[in-house]
Amino acid sequence: MRLASGSSSHTGLVRGNNEDSFVADDARVLFAVADGMGGHRGGEVASRVAIEALRAGVAAGRPVRDAIASANDAVIERARGDAELTGMGTTLTALVVANGQQLLVGHVGDSRAYLLRDGTLRRITEDHSLVEELVREGRLTPEQAEAHPRRAVVTRALGVDAEVDVDLYPVDVAVGDRVLLCSDGLTTMVRERDVERIARSEPDPQRAAEKLVDAANSAGGDDNTTVVVVDVLEVDPVGVPATEPAAPAPSPARIMTPAPEVSPPTTSRESWPRRIRNSLLLFVPLILVLAIAVGGVGLYARRSYYVGFAGNRVVIYKGVPGGVLGWNPTVDETTKISASQLSQLDHDRVAGGAARGSLGGARRFVARLQAGVDATSTTTTTTRPHATTTTRPRTRKPRTTTPRTTAPR
């Protein structure tokens, strides 16, 4: 496959520094955008460390999912022992070549990948953001999401947990296709149809990237904006071995529905009892699979724990946020930590249901929150009021500032 790329990154017109980082390496066939979060220089450091680790991982021949996991480790490691960097995190959306006809996007956070084909822009990635999760669950309309005061809340990022869930999107490409990677500075300022129009009308990838960043700044430039444009110039003939194992597209539904197996048609020569017996034999495994699936969901709902808010207090819930098939979460343990004591990033994570999984994991997360609270209470917070602001302030279209609220989900 032969690709050509262009890239552009800008601080914007409002922010003091650029917390976005990117790589566009035609030779290594690695393209990525990272949007950092964190007080002081935390956001800058997080996105840069993530991009460097991603680059090293891919250069060492690791699959993109592993390279992103190593980037997560690198961000956590860099923050360790450095109070100014505590709580930093970053998004990461990376593009590599899977094989001669397929690209592969690895994705965490709310930066985005788009595919422009035949003049039509299609979004590849799902945002790991609170509002987009609410839209997927049918609890918000896309229009409500666009104006939502908590639209800046990211539900998945690097640098937060030792384990990171990476979404993989294989993208079959043809000559003439164009992939865009961008930080949310572009998509919060420029409507998708305008992104499409600009990406479609400018053939040169470098100029296209620059024009897209210019459009974000012309619309106000409220955030850092980074755009990487990758054009597919040639694809390989079928039969060239894969360089990256093809991965199945992630399913938005976490509950698997078993596909009923198709039985060979019964012939009319069979007697009735035999046909009935055959149908029963066909349905027994199906019923078993369904029973296991339903039981599994129940076990998942009742055995799983997460950290959330009960009123203003941080608690450990038993269950899953929002409940599953009638199994609603119940408070299992309470803590002394109140919402107001948390950093913005921790607050947002708890609001979204943090540390989902084992009770031990939830307790460790609470211990980490407590440690953060203890650390904050022993340092001067008055001199640096924004030290723990780890979520990126944003405005929505049209440009109206949206004050961040602390109301729990």
Interaction site with Mn ion (CB under 5 A): 35, 183-185, 223, 392
- Give the count of alpha carbons within 13 A of 62, CB side only: 16
Q: How far is the CB of 251 from Mn ion (least distance, A)?
A: 27
Asked whether the CA dihedral 140, 145, 149, 150 is positive or negative, the reply is: positive
Task: Name the residue nearer to Mn ion (CB basis): 35 or 231.
Answer: 35
Task: Name the residue nearer to Mn ion (CB basis): 13 or 240.
Answer: 13
Q: Would you tell me the crossing angle of helices 344-351 and 359-378 to the nearest 10 degrees? A: 150
Report the distance separating Cα 305 and Cα 290, nearest Å.
24
Q: How far is the CB of 394 from Mn ion (least distance, A)?
A: 7
Task: Name the residue nearer to Mn ion (CB basis): 35 or 196.
Answer: 35
Q: How far is the CB of 133 from Mn ion (least distance, A)?
A: 18
Q: How far is the CB of 157 from Mn ion (least distance, A)?
A: 12
Beta bridge partners of 228: 7, 181
Cβ-contact 42, 85 below 8 angstroms: yes
Task: Name the residue nearer to Mn ion (CB basis): 105 or 189.
Answer: 189
Task: Name the residue nearer to Mn ion (CB basis): 46 or 307.
Answer: 46
Q: How far is the CB of 343 from Mn ion (least distance, A)?
A: 18
Q: How far is the CB of 185 from Mn ion (least distance, A)?
A: 5
Q: How far is the CB of 183 from Mn ion (least distance, A)?
A: 5
Q: At a CB cut-off of 8 Å and minimum separation 6, what does 371 contact? A: none
Task: Name the residue nearer to Mn ion (CB basis): 35 or 348.
Answer: 35
CB atoms within 10 A of CB 355: 24
The secondary structure of 324-386 as a DSSP string is: BTTB--EEEEEEEEEGGGS-HHHHHHHHT-EEEE-HHHHHHHHHHHHHHHHHHHHS--SS-TT
CB atoms within 10 A of CB 402: 15
Q: At a CB cut-off of 8 Å and minimum separation 6, what does 212 contact? A: 8, 180, 182, 186, 190, 195, 198, 199, 225, 227, 229
Q: How far is the CB of 283 from Mn ion (least distance, A)?
A: 52
For residue 156 the two structure tokens come to 């998945």
Task: Name the residue nearer to Mn ion (CB basis): 184 or 196.
Answer: 184
Cβ-contact 307, 362 below 8 angstroms: yes
Task: Name the residue nearer to Mn ion (CB basis): 32 or 355.
Answer: 32
